[in-house]
């Protein structure tokens, strides 16, 4: 069921500063900022060849990463995203095995225009897991 690592997401308190550090200090290729109001985040993607890094900054009230940044003020790893071929089949299999799907259990459109789901970190050893239909 589980496919490639699509991205690792890092929550950061200052997206412009984090983008500059990756671009200028680490010499990485970075995208322009992309506001995703329906997800409560602004994102920048960094292409590292075999996968991507997703930098996340809170956007608007009630952002899902605000509480994370309160606990981790300098930022930190927020989630890992794996690809699946069929997100509804993956969801049904996970639910049948007792894993908790966040939200209403229906896929939403993620940053790449593809359907995504998030799985409860307590079911996966403390790491929030995103699944994206490839």
Q: Under rule CB under 5 A, which residues in 67-96 are in contact with Co ion?
A: 81
Binding of Co ion by 101 (CB under 5 A): no
Among 46, 128, 130, 131, binds Co ion (CB under 5 A): 130
Minimal distance, residue 134 CB to Co ion, in Å: 14
Piece in contact with Co ion (CB under 5 A), picked from 4-12, 19-27, 30-38, 89-97: 4-12
Q: Does 30 bind Co ion (CB under 5 A)?
A: no
Instruction: Report if residue 132 touches Co ion, rule: CB under 5 A.
Output: no
Among 9, 12, 46, 117, indicate the residue that binds Co ion (CB under 5 A).
Answer: 9
3-state secondary structure the chain: CCCCEEEEEEECCCHHHHHHHHHHHCCCEECCCEEECCCCEEEEEEECCCCEEEEEEECCCCCCCHHHHHHCCCCEEEEEEEEECCHHHHHHHHHHCCCCECCCCCCEECCCCCEEEEECHHHHCCCEEEEEEC
């Amino acid at each position: 069921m589980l496919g490639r690592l699509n991205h690792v997401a890092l929550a950061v308190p200052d997206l412009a500063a984090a983008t500059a550090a990756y671009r200028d200090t680490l010499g990485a290729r970075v995208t322009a900022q992309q506001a995703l109001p329906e997800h409560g985040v602004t994102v920048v993607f960094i292409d590292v060849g075999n996968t991507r890094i997703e930098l996340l900054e809170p956007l608007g009230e009630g952002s899902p990463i605000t509480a994370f940044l309160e606990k981790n003020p300098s930022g930190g790893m927020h989630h890992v995203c794996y690809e699946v071929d069929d997100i509804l089949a993956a969801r049904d299999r996970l639910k049948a095995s007792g894993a908790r799907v966040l939200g209403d259990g229906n896929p939403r459109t993620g940053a790449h225009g593809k359907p995504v789901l998030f799985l409860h970190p307590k079911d996966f050893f403390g790491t929030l897991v995103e699944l994206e239909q490839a």
